[in-house]
A = this chain, B = another copy of it.
Amino acid sequence: MAKGASISGFPEWLPSERVVEQRVIDTLRKVFELNGFIGIETRAVEEGSSLLKKGETSKEIYLLSRLQEVGHESDTPIEQRLGLHFDLTVPLSRYVVENSGQLAFPFKRWQIQKVWRGERPQEGRFREFVQADIDVVGNGDLPEHYEVELPLVMVSALEELRAFGLPKATVHANNRKLSEGFYRGVGLGDIEGVLREIDKLDKIGADEVARLLVENCHADQRQAQACLELAQLTASNGAELQARFDQLWSKYCTAADREQYHSMAQKGLDTLAMIIDEAAAIRPGSVIADLKIARGLDYYTGSVYETFLDGAASLGSICSGGRYDNLASQGNRKYPGVGLSIGLSRLVSYMLHSAGAAASRVSPACVMVAVWNEDDRLASNRIAAQLRERGVAADVAPYAAKLGKQIKYADRLGIPYVWFPADAAGEDGGSGTDQVKNIVTGQQCAADVTSWLPDSVYARQTVSLKH
């Protein structure tokens, strides 16, 4: 990264690093479009009222004010002020409602954009970063099969990124209905509170979570124990999931008045079982049930997902999401959705700094045309123009300096070929024809601008792993 962001939390890439980010974005877009997702872009701002409505990040909003409003900002209630979006899900919901008449439903969309979090500056937290999202939004209803298909699209996208050094990704899935039914089944009522504490399990450990459940969520020791045991339940197929859940239910939810919550839990369990069984049929090992997954954002109503990379636990979840049935509505009409979001900036940071992803060169140019003297620049420009017309990216030496200096410029940019125009080739002891030199291999040969092509290895700027 550009030697520490000059404003804390607002990272910027050096040109060679940006090549990697751009390739990652191109790759994701390719996978999303292969899967029939439609690209949209929403404005960076939303009204305060939408931003405050949903999401625990609502406290981390950047509000805008025009320079002319400075000193009078408070004249406008926050709900009516504009703020930068903190994710791409809230904007999608708003976009879908506004344009519902002109969209075909279910609406499958991809969106890769910056988002902002108005956090206090602190080490390692991004206040501006790129998210890459896919969602599908239904009109009135939304079939459950998308709850397994969308995580699988993300898995296939992340699989493509392994070429840039990303380890294998596994989606951990849970279901809010399952959790809520169970919590109510054991006699707890503060569902959001319990989820919030359970979400801390990996960070602070079981004992501490148990203490917080007792302290903050009116749980007794046995109830806390029940929640922890549920959170520790994992399963790789539906039957196993059902069996383990049944065991817990009969252990903790025996009171007669709790049975009413069983159907809620079972509904969530059925969806989760479907997800892991279908995923196993298509891509074994890609999606597992992990009942501690809680997700911070409070707009999820069913499936929730987090994604972890093998051997990169410190990164935490790199791709999260879930199903939200109530985020968007218009009158009685609801627009339920399910989607996942990759935190792209942290991922690119990992690829660059931990996985050794690197651009083959800084410049997209494949050839730099040398300039013998400034009066000959037009000839060099013409050669470059002819190469470009044939799809070969070409730069021209900035100065008609000594040849060594010109080659050094190409070398600093990683441009593999230097083209020597013929007309003054005599100065170079040349043959009177154009010559092209591969400055990586040292090979030089005569070349015709109307037919020459670079070796395929050197043709394009690529990203690969340093060894």
Q: Give the interface of A toward B (CB within 8 A).
A: 2-3, 5-7, 10-15, 18-19, 21-22, 33-45, 47, 58-68, 70-71, 73-74, 78, 82-84, 94-95, 98-99, 102-104, 106, 108-109, 114, 116, 118-120, 128, 143, 145, 149, 278, 281-282, 362-365, 368, 374, 377-378, 381-382, 384-385, 388, 391-396, 398-399, 409, 412-413, 415
Contact = CB atoms under 8 A, between A and B. Distances in A.
7 contacts: A6-B94, A10-B43, A44-B128, A65-B65, A67-B78, A106-B398, A145-B377
A331 B149 CA distance: 57
Contacts of A34: 364, 388, 391-394
Contacts of A415: 36
B73 A62 contact: no
A70 B67 contact: no
A387 to B, nearest CB: 9
A281 to B, nearest CB: 6
Given A18-B39, A128-B44, A78 B70 contact: yes
B67 A61 contact: yes
Contacts of A116: 44
A38 B12 CA distance: 15
Given A73-B70, A128-B45, A282-B378, A364 B33 contact: yes
B42 A12 contact: yes
Contact of A282 (B22, B99, B145, B381): B381
B67 A59 contact: yes
Question: In the assembly, how many copies of this chain are there?
Answer: 2
A83 B6 CA distance: 14
Contacts of A394: 34-36
Nearest to A128: B43
A281 B35 contact: no
Nearest to A412: B104
Contact of A38 (B39, B84, B364): B364
Leading 9 A-B pairs by shortest Cβ distance: A36-B395, A36-B365, A33-B364, A66-B118, A104-B412, A10-B43, A34-B388, A62-B64, A61-B67
A382 to B, nearest CB: 8
A163 B356 CA distance: 40
Contacts of A13: 40-41
A42 B143 CA distance: 40
A10 B44 CA distance: 9
A40 B18 contact: yes
Interface centre among A36, A61, A67, A388 (most CB of B within 10 A): A36
A114 B130 CA distance: 14
B99 A3 contact: yes
Contacts of A118: 64-68
Contacts of A39: 15, 18-19, 22, 364
A102 B42 CA distance: 34
